[in-house]
Amino acid sequence: MSNPARSTPPTPILRLTDIRRSYNVGLDVETEVLHGISIALQSAEFVALKGPSGSGKSTLLNIIGLLERPTAGTLEIAGQLTGSLGDAELTALRGATIGFVFQFHHLLPAFTALENVLMPSIVAHGTASHEAEANARDLLARVGLKGAEYKRPGELSGGMQQRVAIARALSLRPRLILADEPTGNLDTVSADEVFGLLREFNRDHGSACLIVTHDPQLAASCDRIIKLVDGRVVSN
């Protein structure tokens, strides 16, 4: 009798295998800061990345975000192995797949909130379509900024600026959202709202989220916690 057909497990949106990162390679002061990191995230997962200062969290996030290349190991995003890709190909993959939310929102001060949210679309396509503008307005409304579309960052509070940054990160509906201490500079109420918005997008669109945080309450609200200590995963 033949075996019943088995369903193929889904391909993770993110898979790292034995990732290592060294600085000053070949010199006497060569330093390895990531020591064989192997983790995977499935679509729609909401995961916290925790660890003490100096544990390698930011370096790991930069590698996942295709901003740095690992010294060794393999990185796969949306089924695409990245090791052999050139800079232009990495930029294209990053723009098509990843949304970033940083602790410091990095908004462009000369542009309005609406223009900041449209920026990924402009970078990707050279212009912002009517559909992209409608989506940007909808995102700003969803983050509680309806009516503030034409305000510049200097006219907005810190919490409002971070909401603009979240709307910008979500504007191309990325399959993977990377957030580096997104609530670190916010008061408790604003932090809860920002976390809630990321959770909402995660549920509504199935985007995977990897959030670096020191907040134990926020981390406990995630689906699971990856803990990094001295450049090694100690729990996953």
Per-residue pLDDT tens over the stretch 86-145: 999 998 898 889 998 877 778 899 999 999 999 988 887 888 889 999 999 998 988 888
| pTM score of the predicted model | 0.85
Residue 4: predicted pLDDT? 55
State CA 2 to chain mean position distance: 44
Residue 47, pLDDT > 90, answer yes
pLDDT over 80 (residue 227): yes
Mean of the per-residue pLDDT values of the chain? 87
Pick 126 or 10 by higher pLDDT: 126
What pLDDT is attached to residue 109? Answer: 92
- pLDDT of amino acid 3: 59
Domains of the chain: 14-235 (3.40.50.300)
pLDDT of 2 strictly over 60 = no
More confident site: 123 or 74:
74
Is the model's pLDDT at 190 over the cut of 70?
A: yes
Dihedral (Cα; 149, 176, 85, 103), 10-degree rounding: 60
Q: How sure is the predictor about 77, in pLDDT bands with cuts at 50, 70 and 90?
A: very high
